[in-house]
Structure 1
Amino acid sequence: MNIRAVLFDADGVLQQEVEGGREKLACLDGSATPNEAFLQDFFRAEMPCMRGDADMADTIAEVLKKWDSPFSVAHAIETHTKIVTMNPESIEVVRALRKSGVGAYLATNQHEYRAQYMSEVFGYADLFDGEFYSCRVGAMKPDPDYFHAILKSLPYRPEQLLFIDDRDRNVAAARSVGIHGVEYELGEGVEALRDVLRRYGIWS
């Protein structure tokens, strides 16, 4: 096995929600307690934005209007963008991997506002050899087209790539185009992530 580069998912692999983040988002309708129905509307409005088919400012404006929210669109987008934080141990694994000569790329479903935040504020533009945000790719996991687009952009054959994600359907999609795929999530601990890399001969 000759793995040349690793594709890392972000949410659930390299970063996680801040404590209370989901609850804060679910109160953006103006309620004092989390509103699950509002939250589901919010997430549905996010979907076309993650494919790059719509602007989050437009879709979220409709949700806020529907629920007569007292909050601005800018506040809602900022709240959603900032409910994630990096996991330091996982980030160190990425740094060490690159230092060893193995390529590291980000492969994540995000809307443009969070993509920009992650790239610039989290520093992913410098951390990774490349970033593949779904909103910029024009397709999102688990659509195989997402992975086909990545393959067209990289100088590797599918079998030279390892994809790590916390959702089995995304892993299955990567495998369907010939990329090695492994399911892993942060709750397993960073040593489990290192074990994955060891199994593929890219961590000692």
Structure 2
Amino acid sequence: METVVIRHVLFDADGVLQHLPGGWYAAAEPFLGDRAEEFFLAAWAKEAPLQAGADGDFLAILADLLDEFGATASAEEVYAAVWNRVEVHPESADVVRRLRAAGYGVHLGTNQAAHRGTFMRTALGHDDLFDVSCYSFDLGVAKPEPEFFHRAAARIGADPHEIVFVDDKASNVASARSIGMATVHWTFDSHPEASAAGTDAPADHISHAALCEQLAAHGVRP
């Protein structure tokens, strides 16, 4: 049997590459108070179709939702203070750069609506960090649908068996594995807010050294 060689690494964004300091709910509390969690459940449900490529302006949707919750801040203000107040973890970025220097194709595979995806590509510099970017709104399908991974592999130009996928959500990892990708279930950001927000993350903080060890188990060494 021919040995499969991993030539590409596909990284998730939130919880793997980047995070919102303090968590989503804490960031929204100045605007929503104790209804922050309820607000996010509604906001994420409305954002999901846009992440899968549906037409729509999330800022307009967010404005209506803020009005419904009695918030006085503008959609632009809340979006900038929450959705776009994301930071790239320097150690995660370092792993990406080391993998590229070692000759691997290194790519981004993330569920995002167009507004946030555009912010990530430009303000956070993800287009420069990665070889190929696979944003769900652009692919027209979101994780954990297996079709997301089929389309990502096609965009990368590789067989799924040549790709290892890193994500903090077990459901996404299982879906990638179902189409033949090698997988790593990992996060640097497993805090209470992440669990409350349904990230499906491992229970304990896991170091970047552990990420490299799990990649090495698939023959990938940054």
Please, what TM-score do these two structures have when normalized by structure 2?
A: 0.85
With over 3 angstroms needed to count, the CA separation of the structure-2 counterparts of 1:50 and 1:28, relative to structure 1, is farther
User: Does 1:28 find its partner at 2:31?
Assistant: yes
User: Per-residue CA shift, 1:61-105, capped at 9, x if unaligned?
Assistant: 221121122111211222232232111011100000001100100
Among all aligned residue pairs of Structure 1 and Structure 2, give the percentage whose two residues are the same amino acid: 34
Give the partner amino acid of 1:85.
E
1:116 shift after superposition? 1.3
1-structure distance, mates of 2:124, 2:94: 13
Please, what TM-score do these two structures have when normalized by structure 1?
A: 0.92
Give the partner amino acid of 1:63.
L
Runs of 4+ in 1 over 6 A off after TM superposition: none
Give the partner amino acid of 2:15.
G
Pick from 67, 70, 76: which aligns with 2:69? 67
Q: Which residue in 2 is equivalent to 1:195?
A: 213
1:21 shift after superposition? 4.6
Is contact 2:25–2:37 with CA below 8 Å preserved after alignment? no
Q: Number of residues paired by the alignment?
A: 202
Q: Which residue in 2 is equivalent to 1:6?
A: 9
2-structure distance, mates of 1:10, 1:181: 15
Q: Which residue in 2 is equivalent to 1:81?
A: 83
1-structure distance, mates of 2:25, 2:36: 10
Q: Which residue in 2 is equivalent to 1:143?
A: 145
1:34 shift after superposition? 5.3
With over 3 angstroms needed to count, the CA separation of the structure-2 counterparts of 1:22 and 1:5, relative to structure 1, is same
Q: Which residue in 2 is equivalent to 1:18?
A: 21
2-structure distance, mates of 1:20, 1:180: 29
Give the partner amino acid of 1:99.
A
Structure 2, unaligned stretches of length 5 or more?
189-204
Give the partner amino acid of 1:5.
H
Pick from 159, 164, 172: which aligns with 1:157? 159
Aligned alpha-carbon RMSD (Å): 1.6
Give the partner amino acid of 1:2.
V
